[in-house]
Amino acid sequence: MFSEQAAATAQGLLAPPSAEPPTFPRVAVSGYSDCSQPFQLGERSFARQYAHIYAVRLAGMRPGLERRARSRWGNDVVLRRLSELQEGEKCCVVGTLFKSMQLQPSILQEISEEHNLVPQPPLPKYIQPSDELILEDELQRIKLEGAIDVQRLVTGTIVAVYGCEQDNGRFLVEDHCFADLPPPLPWSGPSSDRYVLLASGLGLGSVSGEALLSTQLLVDVVTGQLGAEGEQSCAAHITRVILAGNLLSQNTQSRDTINKAKYLTKKTQAASVEAVKMLDEILLQLCTSVPVDVMPGEFDPTNYTLPQQPLHRCMLPLASAYATLRLVTNPYQASLDGVRFLGTSGQNISDIFKYSSMDDYLEILEWTLLVGHISPTAPDTLGCYPFYKSDPFILTECPHVYFCGNAPHFQSKLLQGKEGQRVLLLTVPDFSATQTACLVNLHDLSCQPITFSSFGADSEDGDMELEH
Amino acid sequence: MADELYLENIDEFVTDHNRVVTYKWLSYTLGVHVNQAKQMLYDYVERKRKENSGAQLHVTYLVAGNLLQNGHFCHKVAVVREDKLEAMKSKLSTIASVHVYSIQKALLKDSSPLYNTDYDIVKTNLQHCSKFSAIRCAAAVPRTPPDAPQVPEPVQSPQRQRDPDAAINGHRVRAAKPPPQQHKGIMGMFAAKAAARPQDTPKEAKAEAKEAAGVSAANCKPPTKNTIMNNFFGKAAMNKLKANSVPEQPKEEKEVVKPSVAVAESESSPNTVAEKPGKKTESDRIQQKDKKSKTKRVDRSDDEEERDPENVKKKRKRIKQLLSDSSDEEDVPPSPTPEEERVPSPPPEPALKTELEPASTEVSAGGRKRKRKRVLKSRMFIDEEEGCMVTEKVYESESCTDSEDEFPKTKAPAPQEQAMLPTKREPKEERKNPKKGAAPASRANKQVSIMGFCQKK
């Protein structure tokens, strides 16, 4: 992307100083609107039970699913509630899936005294062949068997199943369908090349400092300090930087106060304090040059439950003086230059990864889009705010760019939908591990990874193997 | 000739100072555009090598371009040593840019010196970090004051120098104020005081007076937090707290704004409200006693005793009662540890030094003094209106001589050494001092407090 345009003047700076070097004005943001209002929580009350969120989720998605069922199995398909089921009758039922897993961590079991259990260590995946799927609607539940992939699906998905109830009380599934891609948004992207840089997992405050120079190189490329003139002029077309979570490293999460004796920890400072200062300086450098959207992630100092609220700007005093800094929620939805972005910091995808047989982050990302819900496993295994009026994670419109942060590698795919949807699916890799960020071209929804490397104490040939 | 000057400069940096000269460092140091800096470095390398082919010069380059990886093209940006330059160039299918990244005398094993050099130079130039960059962003302007929260915050502006584009001086002070104020709101008194104290002397009296007035009228949140903390820690721990500045404010101001609130004010309107020079020197003395900004009620009460007659003290007590009532329900603020981690920026250092010199003489001349301590006592009185007996816990001043005075004496030589020490050592020494102060204090009072266990450390 950059390289072709910049190639002409690549070696231009290998010369004695010339006349006044050019400065390029940054391409102005023509249209920006923040659409994350559903994810912003005002007054929060945790007095409600989580059953309401499932109820509104089902109520919100039922019409769409019924429409989908009719179009798939014919207009005359019988739609039944579970309470109206008759044995042997072929019908379609819309409900919420629940997967009962033996290995699913249960806090009640852990603290139960009669079991005397040692808390289960975290596993990469909690699936087992003995897992079962159960369909629930507003009043009843029924076990499912048949043409439905138990391992792949997760709790909280709204599904329409077609089949019949058997005499053993289970529902034999012949076919099933999901909400499928939401209706498309009109396209009004820019007419010339405009880039958005997406990075996640900066991982500041970690013990190792290898990624620090790469982070500095990233900032330098975006702010136009690095590179020859051609590259700098291309970098001037970067209209926005989105930092998708995990700005702080997992190391800053150590809670010595819990484990160690008080007299040992009294004068120590939380590791996140230093890391946030570093973050502030990096953001200041970026903010003086480009608009930045900062999303919180799993290890960032904000609330744990989804939707995560923006970082408070008192933590970033230097950078928040600039209007170019925007502290946004996770998940984040915004319209940049007519292109609708929707993405998360990756907690939803990694949670589905743990409870499903799907291994590929891009596959899971696509699956959430097809299911019509950003994070079906919330609130079952992923912390979530107890919504009761409406579920903001239901996808009502199809975004143009759908991303998730903190993925193990960079992957991207342009998905075309039946109704004319065109979505760029993007898994933004963890920068502290891969030193890779993503550049998305808003003009044609193409994207390219951008990798940074420096030379380390070990051989330089290792650089190439860094990015798998 | 200007052209030759930069060559000499680079030569000096590389060979004489043995520096790692990166393009960014050179750009900030010489005040030139980054591209010019890169070209200067290249020019220097070429000339030096032409003159003396055996020159002890190692160069790192930045290479960027397209790289075919896993079936897709990725844009790679890499810093490579000179010996690996050609290898990297050959790996890339298209080269987008090549330029000199840095020059140094020694062969670098890894890139951390490069990172450190860049980090240091950016850190010292944070307010105009995009000045020499090749891209200018018109949208990157500081937020206008109405956007920032409307909380007056007089301090921390030297530390938080923002964009020099905010040309008007008053404007700049304004712009700097609100962001530190948010800091204050969250961290409460700790943030405000730590910053306030270093900013004392550099500030103008006028500016401070304005801000002091503003602060006195401002929210009581940090001050009430302060009271909570004092309540929580008790008398013994309060002695541990270091005074930022003595309550120099006139006592009227204090009475108007509740005395415990004065903690925040006293530091926000420190010796710059130079109404009473006597107070100033005393503040210096006390200030010198405890480096960091924690309030010491003892000192405040001390001053009051010296200056105010009994009736005024009584008035204050009543106000204090009301305050301690309201503040009982609030949460205990975080422990004072974050305070000590903060490193005062260079400007406070010389200020501190100047303060220390006059103050030290005072301390040695001071000798033992009777101190008034704040003691939590139960007071019972009959409320005529409601016809009931009311038992309240109030802080009452009690005089006692304690070995706390050892504290200022040991402090007097110590801070002077401290001022010369590098900034990093300061937090450690300051941490030691409160412990010194706490131990004798607790012994003297013989009052068991919950924090006594921790103070033994």
Q: What is the pLDDT confidence band of residue A15, given thresholds at 50, 70 and 90? A: confident
Spatial neighbors of B182 by CB under 8 A, at least 6 apart, are: A312, A313, A314, A317, A320, B149, B151
pLDDT, residue A295, reads 93
pLDDT, residue A209, reads 67
Note whether A448 contacts B: Cβ–Cβ < 8 A: yes
Percentage with pLDDT > 90 across chain A: 41
Scanning A267-286 for CB atoms below 8 A from B yields 267-269, 273, 281, 284-285
- What's the DSSP call for residue B220? S
pLDDT, residue A218, reads 92
Phi and psi based region of residue A116 (left: phi greater than 0; alpha: psi -120 to 50; beta: remaining): left
Q: What is the pLDDT of residues A253-283, one digit of tens each?
A: 776 656 676 677 666 677 788 889 989 999 9
Scanning B2-31 for CB atoms below 8 A from A yields 3, 6, 23-24, 27
Q: What is the pLDDT confidence band of residue B272, given thresholds at 50, 70 and 90? A: very low
pLDDT, residue B350, reads 44
Q: Single out the residue of B423, B312, B396, B415 nearest to residue B357, CA to CA.
A: B415
Q: What distance in Å separates the CA atoms of residue A340 and residue A185, rounded to the nearest whole number?
A: 8
For residue B75, the chain A residue with the least C-alpha distance is A450
- Cis status of the peptide bond prior to A63, with omega within 30 of 0: no
* Residue in this structure with the two tokens 């009662």, named with its chain if needed: B321
Give the largest CA-CA distance in chain A. 88
Q: Answer yes or no: are the C-beta atoms of B249 and B265 closer than 8 Å.
A: yes
Q: What secondary structure, in 3-state letters, does chain A show?
A: CHHHHHHHHCCCCCCCCCCCCCCEECCCCCCEEECCHHHCCCCCCCCCCCHHHHHHHHHHHHHHHHHHHHHHHCCCCCEECHHHCCECCCEEEEEEEEEECCCCCCHHHHHCCCCCCCCCCCCCCCCCCCCEEEEECCCCEEEEEECCCCCCCCCCCEEEEEEEECCCCCEEEEEEECCCCCCECCCCCCCCCCEEEEEECCCECCCCCHHHHHHHHHHHHHHCCCCCHHHHHHHCCEEEEEEECCCECHHHHCCHHHHCCHHHHCCCCCHHHHHHHHHHHHHHHHHCCCCEEEECCCCCCCCCCECECCCCHHHCCCHHHECCEEECCECEEEEECCEEEEEECCHHHHHHHHHCCCCCHHHHHHHHHHHCECCCCCCCCCCECCCCCCCCCECCCECCEEEEEEECCCEEEEEECCCCCEEEEEEEEEHHHHCEEEEEECCCCEEEEEEEECCCCCCCCHHHHHCC
- Best of B3, B24, B35 to substitute, by most chain A Cβ atoms within 10 angstroms, is B35
Average pLDDT of every residue of chain B? 60
The answer on pLDDT for B151 being more than 90 is no
Spatial neighbors of A186 by CB under 8 A, at least 6 apart, are: none
Note whether B294 contacts A: Cβ–Cβ < 8 A: no
Q: What is the pLDDT confidence band of residue B374, given thresholds at 50, 70 and 90? A: confident
At residue A129, φ and ψ (nearest 5 deg) are -65, -20
Q: What is the pLDDT confidence band of residue B2, given thresholds at 50, 70 and 90? A: low
Calculate mean pLDDT across residues A292-309: 91
Q: What distance in Å separates the CA atoms of residue B287 and residue B362, rounded to the nearest whole number?
A: 12
Provide the residue type at B427 as one letter: P
pLDDT, residue A450, reads 92
Q: Single out the residue of A165, A128, A169 nearest to residue A150, CA to CA.
A: A128
| Closest Cβ–Cβ partner in A273, A317, A322 for B180 | A317
Q: Answer yes or no: are the C-beta atoms of B394 and B377 closer than 8 Å.
A: yes
**What separation in angstroms does the CA of A401 have from each of A29, A199, B16?**
17, 14, 53
Calculate mean pLDDT across residues A415-425: 90
- What's the DSSP call for residue B14? I
* Residue in this structure with the two tokens 């008035």, named with its chain if needed: B315
Cross-chain residue pair A323–B147, CB shorter than 8 Å? yes
* Residue in this structure with the two tokens 């584009």, named with its chain if needed: B165
Q: Answer yes or no: are the C-beta atoms of A96 and A372 closer than 8 Å.
A: no
Calculate mean pLDDT across residues A335-354: 92
Q: Single out the residue of A316, A415, A426 nearest to residue A365, CA to CA.
A: A426
Least confident of A83-97, A145-159, B255-269: B255-269
| Strands annotated E in B294-417 | 371-383, 388-400
The answer on pLDDT for B1 being more than 50 is no
Calculate mean pLDDT across residues A205-229: 84
- What's the DSSP call for residue B129? T
Domain boundaries defined on chain B = 1-107+120-125
The answer on pLDDT for B311 being more than 60 is no
The better pLDDT of the pair A301, A18 is held by A301
Least confident of A333-337, A412-416, A428-432, B294-298: B294-298
Q: What is the pLDDT of residues B80-129, one digit of tens each?
A: 888 888 998 898 888 888 888 988 888 888 888 888 888 888 888 888 77
Q: What is the pLDDT of residues B32-81, one digit of tens each?
A: 888 888 888 888 888 888 887 767 888 899 888 888 887 788 899 989 88
Cross-chain residue pair B100–A13, CB shorter than 8 Å? yes
The better pLDDT of the pair B164, A34 is held by A34
Spatial neighbors of B82 by CB under 8 A, at least 6 apart, are: B58, B59, B60, B61
Helical pair B178-187 and B189-199, crossing angle rounded to 10 deg: 130
- Best of A30, A225, A461 to substitute, by most chain B Cβ atoms within 10 angstroms, is A225
At residue B322, φ and ψ (nearest 5 deg) are -55, -40
Cβ contacts of A1 on chain B, cutoff 8 Å = 75
ipTM reported for the complex, 2 dp:
0.84
pLDDT, residue A33, reads 87
Architecture (CATH level 2) of domain B1-107+120-125 = Alpha-Beta Complex (3.90)
End-to-end Cα distance, chain A: 21
For residue B74, the chain A residue with the least C-alpha distance is A449
Percentage with pLDDT > 70 across chain A: 91
The better pLDDT of the pair A313, B334 is held by A313
Helical pair B23-30 and B112-124, crossing angle rounded to 10 deg: 30
Distance from CA of B27 to the nearest CA of A (A): 10
pLDDT, residue A429, reads 93
Calculate mean pLDDT across residues B254-282: 42
Q: What is the pLDDT of residues A168-203, one digit of tens each?
A: 989 999 999 999 899 998 888 888 888 999 999 998
Calculate mean pLDDT across residues B123-151: 74
Q: What distance in Å separates the CA atoms of residue B390 and residue B410, rounded to the nearest whole number?
A: 44
Average pLDDT of every residue of chain A? 86
The answer on pLDDT for B334 being more than 50 is no
Cβ contacts of A324 on chain B, cutoff 8 Å = 137, 139-140
- What's the DSSP call for residue B142? B
pLDDT, residue B105, reads 87
Calculate mean pLDDT across residues B133-143: 80
The better pLDDT of the pair A106, A152 is held by A152
Distance from CA of B328 to the nearest CA of A (A): 24
- What's the DSSP call for residue B138? T
Identify which of A116-125, A380-389, B270-279, B419-428 has the greatest average pLDDT.
A380-389
The better pLDDT of the pair B311, A249 is held by A249
Percentage with pLDDT > 70 across chain B: 37
The better pLDDT of the pair A224, B430 is held by A224
For residue B38, the chain A residue with the least C-alpha distance is A13
Spatial neighbors of A46 by CB under 8 A, at least 6 apart, are: A385, A386
Calculate mean pLDDT across residues B153-171: 39
End-to-end Cα distance, chain B: 63
Calculate mean pLDDT across residues B284-294: 45
Q: What is the pLDDT confidence band of residue B340, given thresholds at 50, 70 and 90? A: very low
Least confident of A282-296, A411-425, B196-210, B358-372: B196-210
pLDDT, residue B290, reads 43
pLDDT, residue B18, reads 85
